[in-house]
Structure 1
């Protein structure tokens, strides 16, 4: 990159932001791709051809999923894609091993995954069809893509950074292709819908392009249309502004140099689909499980009516079920750690105690969810966010102020101790002691001798990526 101005010329460039999303209804397993099943080859689209060429999944899920997009600016990905013309002096232009396309993540060059090479192949084909001059340069290896990405939050820890990354990549790629596209009606080759592009990069990325609450449909491959969205918004980010989300990143274990998970989501899905008896498999006619379909219907209705208790019940059931599937896979998959499990117990008891304090019955005041990682997503409504955040700080008293990335109303709250109900204070003290024991036994403590959270993020429903 440092010699870019001397060895290449930027012809086009485009950028996009991407944000993560958290699935309330999960998917854990993918349908077969056309190149994996010969009977579907007749339905192949350009994107499916690219999947076959690079031997990667089409990321078509076995069931619908429903998510909420986040909007904290400290949890985002910013991606710029450059289309560059190489000069004769460009390193490697005449080298038979020259691969051309380059990718940089947080200022470090990385190997580009087959998923993203697939997306650039789709774009290369689209550009070549719309601009024969550029197509000739592609054929001569005279132009290449350079992808520059910055991630503003931890990757590969179950915080949906892949969704954020693929949505930013898809947004930038779509904008780049729009700059080159022609109005010539004789050119019939079109680039897939941005949600489909994002899905090809990382399945759940298609939901991050949607405003607010997103539904990603599971569709048999013969019914897929690449020019139509595979994920749609069912309610905007302005529909439920009183819904708050806290994301807790737990401390690293002793001997762990980074927070990265040991088993990727893709590998975990393959293992579970093959071996767990609790996966909701496709029906004989290729459609999703009726259990999942019913939950989608109930959750959609609950979101539209802002029915937090129903949203909480389904969200926690889905999270528990995902990790039950993982624990019954062969070999066993464990994403949760002792912090995760202890905090699950705390939230369950918090809800029970709040029913006593508030004289309600079977009502939920807070909900949790985990993706494929140990870190926790907490959901509540605005009247309870200050109390829950104060409880988190009492449970993890070593958490630094600069580790908390907060929004209204938490970032406006006066710095004074929260006064808890006596019974709740007792519950917090009980779990603070348990977490302290876990911390002392399991974690290195370079920053604090008390349990602390490396990161705490606060969000409300976000607007997705505008393409």
Structure 2
């Protein structure tokens, strides 16, 4: 793999790696679509072995921004990428266009938070290329403008994205609450489809907000869910975290299913995997599930159960693959050569 130009100006080129995150207390709904301001706070874990690696090069000879995602030009995502880069260009006082090359080592646009890791890596790489040195909270804010959940992928471990109350959104940023090493859970991701989901998250959130009769209840009960999850994490209480995480997951999907027309992100293998996780837990295996806006099932477990959980998920008809990972660290700058060789 190679970038589109072989003449890289070290002062205006940088690369970064970021990891996707999965929300245990779900984010669903925007109170301001252009700013990606949420209607509820959320809490997530950052994954380890799944990553996005992104190179950003600003150059005077570029007439417009370019984006190559997984080796292909991506006009669909370019508008959002350019809008996000505009935030950093404005801060740097430059009009230079950028060449962006990005790779994911996991399915893109399929309910595995590729936009979260993608925009976190983009913001960090652009910040480094422009020499801005922005603080983590600002990086989180700018990443949120590209994709809401990207605000959380700036950080590692257990992360909470604050609802905030400012109209400009400057206080709606994420913050780390517990390091990955402090409670090193494991995650088995059951891939039940590699196709891009038919209804994207933003469209799904807007439809839900406009038509679901459960929207008000979703908003009114979220703070109690967050408080419960914080307490479970602080106490390292796995059973308590399992209960509130599955509750939040099923509540989010019930909210979306009640939209008109209803949003059905699951397939048969998704359902089978969720039932298998509950069967395992009933036999004493420490594991619970969560599912984002897509068909993939994330089974979170204690390290002692990781091999058993992954093996059980692999036996389910319709499960194409199982990705095993631990909890990961924050978005980091990497050498351009490492990103190119991804």
Q: Which residue pairs with 1:218 in the alignment?
A: 163
CA contact (8 A) 1:122 1:191 kept: no
Alignment equivalent of 1:389, drawn from 299, 302, 310: 310
Q: Which moved more, 1:155-164 or 1:342-351?
A: 342-351
CA contact (8 A) 1:295 1:314 kept: yes
Q: CA deviation at 1:10?
A: 7.0
Alignment equivalent of 1:234, drawn from 165, 177, 202: 177
Aligned length: 331
Corresponding position: 1:454 with 2:341: no
CA–CA separation in structure 1 for the residues paired with 2:201 and 2:99: 27
Q: Which residue pairs with 2:41 in the alignment?
A: 64
Map 1:58-457 → 2, pairs under 5 A: 58-72=35-49, 75-86=50-61, 100-111=64-75, 112-128=77-93, 135=94, 138=95, 143-178=96-131, 193-222=138-167, 224-225=169-170, 230-241=173-184, 243-250=185-192, 252=193, 259-280=195-216, 289=220, 291-354=221-284, 365-393=286-314, 395-396=315-316, 435=317, 453-457=319-323
CA contact (8 A) 1:127 1:180 kept: no
Q: Alignment RMSD, CA only?
A: 2.6
SS of structure 2 residue aligned to 1:238 = helix
Alpha-carbon deviations, 1:140-195, whole Å to 9, x = none?
A: xxx421111111110111111111101101111221232699xxxxxxxx998100
CA–CA separation in structure 2 for the residues paired with 1:332 and 1:68: 28
Cα gap change, 1:64 to 1:179, in 2 (>3 Å): closer
TM-score by length of 2: 0.89
Q: Which moved more, 1:9-18 or 1:374-383?
A: 9-18
Q: Which residue pairs with 2:336 in the alignment?
A: none
Cα gap change, 1:2 to 1:385, in 2 (>3 Å): closer
Q: Which residue pairs with 1:400 in the alignment?
A: none
Cα gap change, 1:306 to 1:9, in 2 (>3 Å): closer
Cα gap change, 1:238 to 1:84, in 2 (>3 Å): same
CA–CA separation in structure 1 for the residues paired with 2:72 and 2:163: 36
SS of structure 2 residue aligned to 1:16 = strand
Cα gap change, 1:9 to 1:76, in 2 (>3 Å): closer
Alpha-carbon deviations, 1:282-341, whole Å to 9, x = none?
A: 9xxxxx52x211111111111111100010001111111111112111011110011111
SS of structure 1 residue aligned to 2:37 = coil
CA contact (8 A) 1:11 1:85 kept: no
Q: Which residue pairs with 1:54 in the alignment?
A: none
SS of structure 2 residue aligned to 1:154 = coil
Q: CA deviation at 1:386?
A: 2.5
Cα gap change, 1:11 to 1:109, in 2 (>3 Å): farther
Q: Which has the larger radius of gyration?
A: 1
SS of structure 2 residue aligned to 1:301 = helix
CA–CA separation in structure 1 for the residues paired with 2:331 and 2:277: 32
Alpha-carbon deviations, 1:256-290, whole Å to 9, x = none?
A: xx5111100110000001111112469xxxxx52x
CA–CA separation in structure 1 for the residues paired with 2:205 and 2:4: 42
Greater relative CO, 1 or 2 (CA 8 Å, sep 6+): 2
> By percentage of residues, which structure has more strand?
2
Q: Which residue pairs with 1:416 in the alignment?
A: none
Q: Which residue pairs with 2:329 in the alignment?
A: 463
4+ aligned runs moved over 6 Å, structure 1? none
CA–CA separation in structure 2 for the residues paired with 1:249 and 1:24: 18
SS of structure 1 residue aligned to 2:60 = strand
Ranges in structure 1 where 5+ consecutive residues have no aligned partner: 34-56, 94-99, 129-134, 182-189, 253-257, 283-287, 355-363, 397-434, 440-452
SS of structure 2 residue aligned to 1:206 = helix
CA contact (8 A) 1:195 1:207 kept: yes
Alpha-carbon deviations, 1:26-52, whole Å to 9, x = none?
A: 01100136xxxxxxxxxxxxxxxxxxx
Q: Which residue pairs with 1:442 in the alignment?
A: none
Q: CA deviation at 1:5?
A: 5.3
CA–CA separation in structure 1 for the residues paired with 2:279 and 2:16: 42
TM-score by length of 1: 0.66
